[in-house]
């Protein structure tokens, strides 16, 4: 696994913790909540003549001191309200005087918290970035205190026990509050609660230690130019040289990926794969074993039989047994196709290298060789057909047409950089304002480097019936037009843009009554499904032509033959690659479902069983360099495949053949995006599909486009 992937996973965990703060650390009485939000809005409004976004409480361009002051006001307000809620006598508690004010302030306070936190992702000012990070630290610290307040838990528990609900969604909301407190140990004795907190701190320390060990960037291997045959000149130019004239290849993900995919020398590929696969060896192996033991103890204290039961309980899959069944079904159904793919690669290696056995380290190289032979795809040339402004215009048009929306750019809105654009979103039929989104998509020093969507304000329905509109921010690092030369997107960036803009629409089209269930605040097994459905538009000829055009003459879209090749390329060797991912998912689920597992022997057993007889690469220790199981995705590595499988079912069943069908698009908007986290995901998908979701469409798609 790559170091960069580990970093992004660590960030994902921090992001998740920050969301927890915004949604559980904000408890207040309704009047106080409204007054607080209004005063924060007005204090900033006086400074600018820029156009306001009606209904948005997001503040931009706060100074470092304003960020810190706002964070402190949020904390003081939260503490005061927690105290008031906790003081309600147990015989007087009701939904309206305990749970309802909490829900109102979750909606009111979230955009203010995000106003403190998101500047560190986009600001070019070091001072603003530092203030934003410090504000987040203070807010996180306060959230931790709030999560341990037994007095607040007691009154919420009392409300839940009464069972007097305003609606099914209100019941769901109150129960989620109780569940969150109890997953923090608030229903345990003081002694056990302290043990839960101690274990959690130890687990966090070990997770970070595992990642820190992997992030050692100093290790390198030495190779002669002959040993690097097949690597492009530009790659070699980027390498340092040792005193003996050999090239230094660092064991970092980008270097290793290039070596395994492009190097013609089998022994070099094997040497790199072995060195990369045994990083941190015994050190991280010990860390992971200790970490898993602590997780099992933690789960047992909270009433679960093992950590996998704890981790999967609140996810769409519900139980580890369902996860195992799912992974094994996919693996079995793909075995014939994966065998065909592997034999094709083995035959090619035999032609090029003789009787040298095929190993796992050969997968990337020979898969690319076959793709070069089978597909007429030059991704460098393909880039010429994706000018960033043309792609963006096409994406906006497609999403408007399919989902019955109208996007309107707000030219004079206040933004943090001149490159940032702001759009309002309206329902095309009723002209109701649905929300806003910011686009900060061009490269800029100091900005967050990955493409992602940040929820700045969640949608919610207030007690008086007024709807708070969602606000989203899409961040990327695309090259913009400079000196008459258009910024061009790689095809992978086009797909990524489609995916992330899918999250924007997912956030804005949500109609849940509670901010806690709004937009991207949905089941983690479900959250990626809508965006993965929408990725399919990038492989359909009709829609590809809408977002493409040769940069010197945009009236010339991408050719039909290229569109067909892209669809086939998408699925090339997908069964074999998926088998490899399933291997790691099974490993992750097994170690978190049973205790005292020998992780080294487990990998040796699983590898040939899943990978069609291919043994684990001798000398490597995959368990020591598998960050997804150490942080953020522990016992949940299966979730990416889960999302992809059910996204395939949705597209094949509803959109295939007519991806711009607005009737189906509106059903998707209303039935899949609309409920958010207010309904069980399986109910959402079954309602849209007219049946329970199935793996069959996913399996069929792999076979249909096989080589």
Overall size of the chain counted in residues: 707
Q: How far apart are CA 483 and CA 170, in angstroms?
A: 55
- Closest by alpha carbon to 407, among 386, 421, 391, 418? 421
- Closest by alpha carbon to 376, among 637, 649, 568? 568
Phi-psi region of 474 (alpha: psi -120 to 50; beta: other; left: phi over 0): beta
Q: How far apart are CA 318 and CA 347, in angstroms?
A: 42
Rg (CA), the chain: 26
Helix spans in 123-265 (H): 126-147, 150-162, 168-182, 190-214, 233-237, 253-262
The dihedral built from the CA positions of residue 246, 252, 254 and 258, taken in this order, carries a sign that is: positive
What's the DSSP call for residue 537?
Answer: G
Q: Coil, strand, or helix at residue 373?
A: helix
Count CB neighbours of 651 within 10 A. Answer: 22
Place of tokens 């094709």: 344
Q: How far apart are CA 547 and CA 402, in angstroms?
A: 15
Spatial neighbors of 623 by CB under 8 A, at least 6 apart, are: 284, 285, 288, 587, 599, 600, 602, 603, 629
Phi-psi region of 75 (alpha: psi -120 to 50; beta: other; left: phi over 0): alpha
- Closest by alpha carbon to 378, among 562, 524, 136? 562
Q: How far apart are CA 43 and CA 36, in angstroms?
A: 11
The phi and psi torsions of 485 (rounded to 5 degrees) equal -100, 120
Q: Which residues of 409-427 are buried (b: 16+ CB within 10 A; e: fewer)?
A: ebeebbbbeeebbbbbbbe
The question of whether 328 is a catalytic residue gets the answer no
Q: How far apart are CA 134 and CA 131, in angstroms?
A: 5
CA atoms within 13 A on the CB side of 504: 30
Spatial neighbors of 228 by CB under 8 A, at least 6 apart, are: 236, 247, 249, 259, 263, 265, 268
Pairing of the two strands 452-457 and 471-478: antiparallel
Count CB neighbours of 340 within 10 A. Answer: 14
Pick the catalytic residue: 341, 500, 535, 540? 500
Q: How far apart are CA 166 and CA 171, in angstroms?
A: 8
First to last CA, the chain: 27
Contact 112, 59 (CB under 8 A): yes
Q: Which helix (H) or strand (E) holds 350?
A: helix 335-353
Pairing of the two strands 471-478 and 433-442: parallel
What's the DSSP call for residue 59?
Answer: -
The dihedral built from the CA positions of residue 323, 325, 330 and 335, taken in this order, carries a sign that is: positive
Q: Coil, strand, or helix at residue 667?
A: helix
The dihedral built from the CA positions of residue 701, 702, 703 and 705, taken in this order, carries a sign that is: positive
- Residues with a catalytic annotation lie at 500
């Amino acid at each position: 696994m790559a170091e960069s992937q580990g970093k992004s996973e660590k960030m994902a965990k921090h992001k998740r913790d920050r969301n927890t703060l915004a949604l559980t650390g904000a408890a207040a009485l309704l009047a106080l909540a409204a007054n607080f939000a209004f005063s924060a809005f007005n204090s900033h409004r006086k400074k600018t003549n820029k156009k306001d976004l009606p209904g948005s409480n997001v503040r931009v361009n706060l100074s470092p001191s304003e960020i810190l002051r706002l964070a402190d006001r949020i904390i003081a307000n939260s503490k005061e309200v927690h105290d008031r809620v906790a003081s309600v006598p147990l015989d007087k508690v009701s939904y309206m005087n305990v749970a309802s004010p909490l829900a109102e302030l979750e909606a009111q306070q979230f955009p203010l918290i995000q106003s403190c936190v998101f500047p560190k992702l986009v600001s070019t000012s070091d001072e603003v970035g530092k203030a934003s990070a410090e504000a987040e630290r203070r807010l996180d610290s306060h959230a931790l205190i709030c999560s341990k307040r037994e007095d607040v838990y007691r009154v919420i528990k009392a409300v839940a026990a009464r069972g007097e609900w305003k609606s099914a969604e209100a019941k769901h909301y109150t129960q989620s509050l109780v569940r969150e407190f109890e997953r923090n140990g608030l229903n345990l004795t003081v002694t056990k609660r302290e043990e839960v907190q101690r274990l959690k701190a130890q687990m966090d320390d070990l997770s970070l230690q595992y990642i820190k060990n992997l992030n050692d960037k100093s290790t390198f291997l030495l190779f002669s130019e002959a040993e690097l045959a097949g690597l492009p000149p530009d790659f070699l130019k980027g390498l340092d040289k040792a005193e003996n004239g050999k090239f230094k290849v660092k064991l970092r993900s980008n270097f290793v990926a290039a070596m395994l995919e492009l190097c013609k020398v089998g022994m070099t590929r094997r040497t790199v794969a072995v060195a990369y696969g045994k990083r941190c060896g015994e050190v991280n192996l010990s860390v992971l074993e200790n970490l898993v033991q602590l997780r099992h103890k933690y789960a047992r204290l909270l009433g679960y039989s093992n950590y996998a039961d704890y981790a999967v309980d609140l996810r769409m899959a519900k139980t580890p047994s369902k996860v195992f069944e799912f992974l094994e079904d996919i693996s079995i159904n793909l075995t014939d196709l994966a065998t065909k793919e592997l034999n094709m690669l083995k035959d090619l290696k035999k032609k090029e290298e003789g009787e040298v056995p095929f190993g796992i380290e050969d997968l990337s190289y020979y898969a690319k060789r076959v793709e070069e032979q089978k597909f007429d795809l030059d991704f460098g040339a393909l880039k010429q057909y994706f000018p960033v402004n043309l792609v963006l215009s096409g994406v906006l048009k497609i999403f408007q047409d399919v989902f019955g929306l109208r996007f309107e750019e707000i030219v004079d809105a206040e933004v943090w950089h001149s490159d940032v654009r702001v759009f309002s979103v309206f329902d095309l039929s009723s002209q109701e304002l649905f929300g806003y989104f910011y686009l900060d998509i061009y490269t800029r020093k100091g900005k967050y480097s990955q493409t992602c969507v940040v929820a700045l304000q969640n949608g919610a329905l207030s007690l008086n019936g007024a709807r708070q509109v969602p606000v989203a921010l899409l961040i990327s690092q695309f090259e913009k037009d400079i000196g008459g030369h258009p910024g061009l997107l790689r095809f992978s960036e086009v797909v990524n843009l489609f995916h992330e803009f899918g999250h924007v629409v997912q956030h804005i089209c949500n109609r849940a009554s509670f901010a806690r269930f709004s937009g991207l605040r949905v089941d983690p097994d479900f959250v990626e499904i809508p965006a993965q459905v929408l990725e399919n538009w990038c492989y359909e000829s009709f829609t590809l032509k809408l977002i493409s055009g040769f940069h010197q003459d945009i009236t010339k879209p991408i050719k039909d033959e290229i569109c067909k090749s892209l669809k086939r390329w998408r699925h090339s060797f997908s069964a074999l690659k998926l088998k490899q991912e399933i291997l790691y998912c099974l490993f992750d689920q097994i170690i978190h479902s049973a205790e005292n597992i020998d992780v080294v022997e487990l990998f040796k057993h699983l590898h040939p069983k899943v990978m069609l007889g291919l043994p684990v690469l001798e000398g490597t220790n995959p368990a020591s360099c598998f960050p997804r199981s150490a942080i953020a995705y522990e016992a949940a590595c299966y979730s990416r495949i889960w999302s992809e499988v059910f996204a395939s079912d949705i597209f094949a069943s509803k959109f295939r053949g007519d991806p711009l069908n607005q009737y189906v698009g509106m059903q998707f908007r209303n039935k899949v995006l609309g409920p958010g986290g207010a309904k069980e995901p399986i109910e959402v998908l079954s309602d849209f599909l007219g049946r329970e979701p199935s793996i069959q469409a996913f399996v069929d798609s792999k076979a249909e486009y096989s080589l």
